[in-house]
């Protein structure tokens, strides 16, 4: 049973435009959400997180939005750069550090 | 700061053979995780250690998988005997707080 879902396996965006990656979850006990970025042949690297007490967290070009009522979060990257091309994983946890990951979205930023 | 180290990076074995993976976490990180990432899916937690004790191994197939972290630092994950469906990338991660830091993974191919 997939508790964290990323329904778009891939996304292509022009350089300089906004990239929006979406994630849905089913477990209402999740209280901490993270985005990881993964390049080929490397492990995932932490990008940005948000606690359930917030609805927005911003770090430079990256902003994560959380809509608890819809059990939905999104990652906005603006402006998108070619170096942002990677697979992005959404993850969630409930209290403990056990993370549940989505299936990933492959972002391609076209120069 | 050195990252999470894993070896080997790649391993090819035949079904029913045994295999072992090694992980050296970031110095001082008490929590260590092993994840299995099957192609096209997100990482799935196999086991979580806090120092040398097991916190969560509910998704570890204990009939063939075993893991240990004897001195609370390095860890090994073993599969015996391997099945075709064990082909995946095995990721090790460590953490001190909420953020998990991942190693590059070991790609296992079972023929």
Distances (CA, A) of B30 to A5, B18, B72, B83: 29, 28, 7, 31
| CA dist., res. B73 & res. A78, Å (int) | 40
Residues facing A74 on adjacent strands: A22, A65
Using pLDDT thresholds of 50, 70 and 90, give the confidence band for residue A97. Answer: low
CB-based contact (8 Å) between B25 and chain A? no
Three-point CA angle A68, A9, A71, nearest 5° = 10
Best B23, B29, B42 member to test A by mutation, with max A CBs in 10 Å, is: B42
Structure confidence by residue, pLDDT tens digits, B20-65: 999 999 999 999 999 999 998 999 999 999 988 999 999 999 999 9
CB-based contact (8 Å) between B53 and chain A? no
**Could B104 and A102 be called an inter-chain contact, meaning their C-beta atoms sit closer than 8 Å?**
no
CB-based contact (8 Å) between B105 and chain A? yes
Could you count the other beta carbons within 10 Å of the beta carbon of residue B72?
14
**Structure confidence at residue B98 (pLDDT):** 79
Torsion of CA B55, A38, A100, A6, to 10 degrees: 180
Q: Does the N-terminal peptide bond of residue B74 adopt cis geometry, omega within 30 degrees of 0?
A: no
**Structure confidence at residue A96 (pLDDT):** 64
């Amino acid at each position: 049973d997939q508790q964290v879902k990323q329904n778009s396996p891939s996304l292509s965006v022009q350089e300089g435009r906004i990239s929006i990656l979406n994630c849905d979850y089913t477990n209402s006990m999740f209280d901490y959400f993270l985005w990881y970025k993964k390049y080929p042949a490397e492990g995932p690297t932490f990008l940005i997180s948000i606690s359930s007490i917030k609805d927005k967290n911003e770090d430079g070009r990256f902003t994560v939005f959380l809509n608890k009522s819809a059990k939905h979060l999104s990652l906005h990257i603006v402006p998108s750069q070619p170096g942002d091309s990677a697979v992005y994983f959404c993850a969630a946890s409930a209290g403990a550090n056990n993370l549940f990951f989505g299936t990933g979205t492959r972002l391609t930023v076209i120069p | 700061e050195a990252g999470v180290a894993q070896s080997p990076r790649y391993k090819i074995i035949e079904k029913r053979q045994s295999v072992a993976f090694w992980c050296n976490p970031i110095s001082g990180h008490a929590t260590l995780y092993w994840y299995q990432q099957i192609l096209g899916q997100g990482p799935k937690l196999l086991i979580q250690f806090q120092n040398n004790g097991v916190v969560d191994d509910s998704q570890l197939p204990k009939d063939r998988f075993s893991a240990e972290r004897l001195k609370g630092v390095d860890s090994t994950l073993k599969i015996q005997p391997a099945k075709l469906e064990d082909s995946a990338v095995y990721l090790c991660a460590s953490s001190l707080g909420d953020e998990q830091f991942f190693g590059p993974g070991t790609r296992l191919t079972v023929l």
